[in-house]
Structure formats: C-alpha cells, structure tokens
C-alpha cells in the first residue's frame, strides 16, 4: 500500500513538472515545489545553483522562484541575446523596480523609459574624462589623510569596513564637494552605516517582494529617508549660493536639462546622488578588498605590482595624478582579474516583454552536433550571471585561478561578452572608469605607505545580491620606514 502511494505521488509530481513546461521553452528547474520553487537554494547560494544548472542543462535554463520564471543565459553566445536586445524586447526598467525604495520616486527605474535614458545621459556626462581627472587628486588626498589620521604606525584592522568608510569619503567628496564633509560623521561612518542598511535591504527576497514589512526592509526605508534629507540639505545650500564654483559631479547634474527644457528637481537630484553613490561605493569597497586579499596572497604578483609602483612614482615625482594612475597597468590587471572572479553584482536582469528566441548549434567532442531552439516567453525574467559566466573553463584557462597576466595575453578578447563585470550593451555601467581609477588610487596610497599582511582569502558571502568576501577580513599593517 505504501509503495503504491509513493508511486502515485511521484507520478503526480512528474505530471506536474511536465505540464508546467511549455513546448519549446528551456529546461525548467524547481517546478516540483509549487510557487516556492528553488528559493531555498537561491537564497543560500544563487551562484552555486546557477553553476549546477549550467553543468546539467547548458547555456540556457529556467529556474522557478517564488512564482516567477527566471531564464538564465550563461556564456558569451547566450549572453549576446541579453545584451543586444532592444528595450521593447527586454526591459531593465521593469526588472529593477525593486530598487525604487532605494533610489526614490521619479529616478531611473521609477521614470518613463525616455526619461530614464535622459537621466542616464546626465550621469554619463557627469562622469566624463575631465571630471575623472579632477577626481584623482581628491581621492588621493582623502586616502592619505584617512590612513595618516586613523591607522597610525602599525596595527590590525577589518579591511572591508575600513575601505567601506574610505570609499564613502572619496566618492561622496567627488560627487557633492566639500559641503558633504560635515554630514559624513566621524571617518565617514555615519553615511557608511546608512548605506550598509540599504545594502542589507537588497537581498534575494526583496527582488520578489520589495515592500514586505520585514525588519531589514524597514531599516532600509528608514536609512533611505535619512540619506535623502542629508543630500537635500546639501542641494539646498548649493541653490542658496549659485555664484560659487564647484568641481564636483553634482554641479554638472544641477545644470543638466531634459529635452523639454526642464531641470532636475531637488528630490530627483537627491535620488540620483543616492543612486550614484550606492552603485559605486559598495562595489568599489568590495572590489578593493578582494584586490588586497589576492595580491597579498600571491607574492610574485605583489612584487610585480610594487616594482611597477616604484617605477611610476619615480617617473611622476611621487604625485598621484590621472596620468600616473592610468600607468598602473599591473595593478589594473589585478583589479580586473578580481572583478572577473568575484564581481559584486552576481546577477543582471531584464523583464521579457515579447517572446525571445534562442538558437545555437555546437559541435560535440565525438563529432556530433547539438542544436538548441528555444523560446523564452514574455513575462519571464531573463538573467545573466557575471559570477558564473566569467569563470567558465572553456573561455578562460584555469578560470577559477587568480592570474592577472591573462589580461596581458588578451584572454578577455576571445569572445564578445566574455567579460561582463560592468554589464554590456546600452546598459553598460557608466561609472566603470571612475570605479577602476578610485580603487587603483587607494591601493597606490596604501602600497606606498604600508607593508600589509592578510589572512587567507575568505569565501564569498552570497546572502546579499551584492556579494563580497565573508567578514572579517583582517589585515595587519606596519608603516614603511621609507615610502616607495
């Protein structure tokens, strides 16, 4: 009797799974648990779930999570569908509505598509090369002051927390000028703590239900309200002194005009400041921490980076300028290799607005071919995973090994969309250069000033949609008797 019941249950489960997959659609995972699907595995380690599915099903598959179908495209060929699509086919705006509580009303994903693109154009203009050149000395000055005042001669620190505070100082100073300093709190910790609450409120659950009355989401909303008040106070001060000269990003945005001649209101402007700082600060602090960990746990790489620093400082008389930081190629290769292995944003998403086709033919090792011809239905969420796709062994040699020299060999150029650390296509991150240069500047200051020793590289923490090393990341440091 028990055997018959078990057979019946299994038969019903199989029938349910088969009935839920539409003809011609990608393999679907998680159907055997109605509504909830694979939420447990996704919440614990989404990257591992994606990698397991890739090994089993290949470059396209659908994961059922909390009633939503997420179709993942893994690898350069499949990802081309994602990045080359028009907004009428795949919508970033519809996929990222869960970010509205962070960015605020009327900003980016809470605005009509044409307005969103105008706002993104404003941001790109504010991050132009001329602004980047102004920012490097500011970042260097803030970093030197921070380490001189807070670190002293020697000691032990939690690196992720330290770089979180420092990147708040540097990024907010470049964004909003000297006026921000009095609002930052000691060591930038006030704003850093508020932004941490925003990060915690953006987790796998918030993607599906962004406004649940959960403690983390309540703290997120409270932190967002406080940050908004701070930024609006700075904007008000700026409005009251229109004749003053400003060399920051906010100054550019305050002068930006929509096509209809209107300008950004204070609430919109504050929201864009929140979005800019949120997008750049936490990703930079995480990447800077990974960079320190990997470089200092690979002695030959460390020696190459230090040798390069000595040569550049001699050539540029010890000054940290746009040109001297640009010349730090070895260091940049380390940063980009870290971003390949551990990108902070592990999933990028779009809402499918009309059926999308994916066809591919691949040769197998035995000489046969495998053809895929699938339709991703409208209503699905289409996603790519930088963390999964940039560690594929058929694209990168020893893909899970830290090897900055691969950037000199040009492995990243083997296929378009093999590197998607900053996204791709028309939605590529406009802050890529700013982020890379900020990290290189901070590490140039650290390496010229201190000898550092890290513990072993920790595992990544995937409990948030923005993934970093699992804390604590302990660094021991001693001031160099002679700076580089």
Which of 426, 430, 406 lies closest to 418, judged by CA? 406
In a domain? residue 188:
yes
Q: Within this chain, do residues 242 and 186 fall inside the same structural domain, yes or no? A: yes
In a domain? residue 332:
yes
User: In the prediction, which pLDDT does 31 show?
Assistant: 65
Q: Within this chain, do residues 218 and 85 fall inside the same structural domain, yes or no? A: no
Q: Within this chain, do residues 285 and 358 fall inside the same structural domain, yes or no? A: no
For the entire predicted model, the pTM comes to: 0.89
Q: Within this chain, do residues 277 and 183 fall inside the same structural domain, yes or no? A: yes
- pLDDT tens, position by position, 289-335: 999 999 999 999 999 999 999 999 999 999 999 999 999 999 999 99
Proportion of the chain above pLDDT 70, given as a percent: 93
- pLDDT tens, position by position, 20-55: 446 589 999 876 677 778 888 887 888 999 999 999
- Residue 202, pLDDT above cutoff 50: yes
Q: Within this chain, do residues 96 and 117 fall inside the same structural domain, yes or no? A: no
Quote the number of domains for the chain: 2
Read off the tokens for 142: 């803030």
In a domain? residue 400:
no
**CATH number where 183 lies:** 1.10.630.10
- 3-state DSSP percent of the chain in helix, strand and coil, to 5: 55, 15, 30
Contacts of 449 (CB under 8 A, 6+ apart): 144, 147, 479, 480, 483
- Contacts of 144-149 spanning 24+ positions with Cβ under 8 A: 144/445, 144/449, 146/187, 147/445, 147/446, 147/449, 147/450
Q: Within this chain, do residues 313 and 192 fall inside the same structural domain, yes or no? A: yes
Contact criterion met (CB below 8 Å) for 324 and 312: yes
Domain that includes residue 57, residue range: 1-101+348-384
């Amino acid at each position: 009797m028990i055997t018959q019941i078990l057979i019946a249950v299994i038969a019903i489960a199989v029938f349910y799974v088969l009935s839920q997959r539409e003809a011609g659609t990608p393999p679907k995972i998680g159907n055997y648990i109605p509504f909830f699907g694979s939420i447990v595995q996704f919440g614990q380690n989404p990257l591992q779930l994606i990698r397991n599915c890739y090994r089993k099903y290949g470059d396209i598959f659908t994961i059922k999570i909390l009633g939503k179908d997420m179709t993942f495209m893994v690898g350069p060929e499949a990802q081309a569908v994602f990045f080359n699509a028009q907004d009428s086919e795949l919508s970033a705006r519809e996929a990222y509505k869960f970010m509205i509580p962070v960015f605020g009303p009327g900003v980016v994903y809470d605005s009509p598509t044409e307005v969103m693109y105008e706002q993104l154009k404003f941001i790109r203009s504010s991050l132009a090369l001329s602004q980047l050149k102004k920012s490097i000395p500011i970042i260097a000055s803030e970093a030197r002051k921070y380490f001189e005042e807070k670190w002293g001669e020697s000691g032990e620190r939690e690196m992720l927390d330290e770089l979180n505070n420092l990147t708040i100082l540097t990024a907010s100073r470049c964004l909003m000028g000297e006026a921000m300093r009095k609002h930052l709190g000691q060591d930038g910790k006030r704003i850093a703590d508020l932004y941490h609450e925003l990060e915690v409120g953006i987790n796998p659950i918030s993607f599906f239900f962004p406004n649940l009355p959960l403690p983390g989401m309540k703290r997120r909303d409270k932190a967002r309200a406080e940050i908004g008040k701070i930024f609006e106070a700075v904007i008000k001060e700026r409005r009251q002194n229109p004749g003053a000269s400003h060399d920051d990003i906010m100054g550019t945005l305050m002068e930006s005009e929509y096509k209809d001649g209107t300008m950004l209101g204070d609430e919109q402007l504050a929201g864009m400041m929140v979005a800019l700082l949120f997008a750049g600060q936490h990703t930079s602090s995480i990447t800077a921490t990974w960079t320190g960990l990997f470089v200092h746990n690979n002695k030959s790489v460390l020696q190459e980076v230090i040798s390069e620093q000595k040569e550049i400082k001699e050539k540029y008389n010890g000054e940290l300028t746009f040109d001297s930081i640009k010349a730090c190629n070895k260091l940049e290769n380390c940063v980009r290799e870290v971003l390949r292995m551990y990108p902070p944003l592990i999933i990028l998403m779009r809402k499918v607005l009309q059926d999308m086709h994916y066809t591919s033919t691949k040769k197998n090792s035995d000489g046969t071919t495998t053809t895929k011809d699938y339709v991703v239905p409208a209503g699905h969420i289409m996603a790519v995973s930088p963390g999964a796709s940039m560690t594929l062994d058929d694209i990168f040699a020893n893909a899970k090994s830290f090897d900055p020299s691969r950037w000199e060999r040009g492995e990243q150029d083997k296929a378009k969309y093999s590197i998607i650390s900053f996204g791709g296509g028309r939605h590529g991150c406009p802050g890529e250069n700013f982020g890379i240069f900020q990290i290189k500047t901070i590490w140039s200051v650290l390496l010229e000033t201190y000898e550092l020793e890290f513990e072993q590289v920790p595992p990544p923490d995937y409990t948030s949609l923005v993934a970093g090393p699992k804390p604590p990341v302990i660094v021991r440091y001693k001031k160099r008797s002679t700076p580089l």
